[in-house]
Amino acid sequence: MRVFHVQTTSVTESDGLPTQPPVSGFIWIACGRREFELEQGHVQSTLLALGSVPLVDLHISDLLNNQLPSHFDYTSQYDLLVFRRLAAGHSETDLSHPGQVLTQPTRRGGPPVLRRIDTSPVGFAVFDRVLLTVHPAGCTVLDHYATRLLGAGTSAARAAGVNLPAGPADLMLRIVNQMVDGYLELRRELTRQLDHWQAELLHPSTRFTNWGSLLDARISLHQLDEICEDQRAAIQDWIEALAGWEVVEGHGDHFGGHKGLELLKVRSRDVLEHIERVIHHVRRLEQNAETAVQMHFSAQSNRTNDIMRTLTALTAIFLPLNLIAGIFGMNFEFIPLLHDNAGFWWAMGSMVLIAVGLSVVFWRKRYLARSGR
């Protein structure tokens, strides 16, 4: 568990849970899911000591559930956002041990980058002066943003124009935005993986047999699409709730007054736009995979048609030759040229001329032409 005291000009990290409300700024309590499950009593007592209210039981269950889709909920005292991340890692799927890293990750098909995408949920409880976040075990988002936040609190960062979060809601949106941007960083590798599969599908001399993995990839992309849709719905609900916020006199420093509230709305719309970009990219990849499969079967069908066209042309060339051979193979005593010394050569010459003539005709009609690749 990590505890940060975020103020206007500085950020400090403490070793234990605070026992009284901060004079200025707000508190960020970040813990793992398994840790939150074991220490939820202490966390609830800390929320009371900080002037907030305890979490309701249903929201505690939501924060402990590592299979919960992205969604938004609220009470009169705090807001709750569960957001499934899309980052490199392994998903937690063992429901009997929430928060623990699996020694044997669940096997998933498809390209390697799809198998490495972690979709574990991260929970946010946003109070007036407290932000409680519940992360999966080994969450790189927590480590990266904690390091970034501590760096932003230095004098050098402030001189460079780096602004600290104005309140718990602002900090939550920054973390969510980093989670969404984490997938945007993976999309180049994911696109390259699927482009390789498309090239393999359309290669004329390659026999594609990895249909099971391709089906797994399409299923994984469809699941990513559903996850992104849940993310968008959760952020849209948050934006609707944010529209009902009011700046109360004497408490405007909770999120920076009217200006801070407008900044929250702008940042929320920016996060929503990033999520929509992810949805667009996932759907485009899914469509590209479907198109590649269709083009593969179309190419195979054209190749089969070319082979059948060539075989049909060759059969048509040899049909007259078989006719001549059949005529001279009849058991009649009197057949023209049968007893002639030059009869064999006349028959062979006729057969060669017929074969060459038909070959030229079929070649000009492109029945025997080489198909372009």
- Reported pTM: 0.70
100-124 pLDDT, tens digit per residue, is 444 444 444 455 656 666 678 899 9
Locate 236 and state its tokens: 């849209």
What region does 256 belong to: left with phi over 0, alpha with psi -120 to 50, or beta?
A: left
Task: Judge whether residue 81 has pLDDT over 90.
Answer: yes
Query: Distance (Å, rounded) from C-alpha 310 to C-alpha 316?
Result: 10
Query: Distance (Å, rounded) from C-alpha 297 to C-alpha 304?
Result: 10
Q: What is the pLDDT of residue 252?
A: 42
Which numeric CATH code is attached to 303-364? 1.20.58.340
Task: Evaluate the CA torsion angle 264, 269, 272, 277 in order and state its sign.
Answer: negative
Pairing of strands 130-135, 121-126: antiparallel
Q: What is the pLDDT of residue 208?
A: 67
Which regions of the chain carry the CATH code 3.30.460.20? Answer: 2-298
Task: Judge whether residue 373 has pLDDT over 50.
Answer: no
Query: Distance (Å, rounded) from C-alpha 136 to C-alpha 367?
Result: 64
Fold of 2-298: Beta Polymerase; domain 2 (3.30.460)
Which regions of the chain carry the CATH code 1.20.58.340? Answer: 303-364
Task: Give the containing element (helix H, strand E) for 293.
Answer: helix 257-328
269-326 pLDDT, tens digit per residue, is 998 998 888 888 888 888 877 777 787 777 778 778 888 888 888 888 888 888 888 8
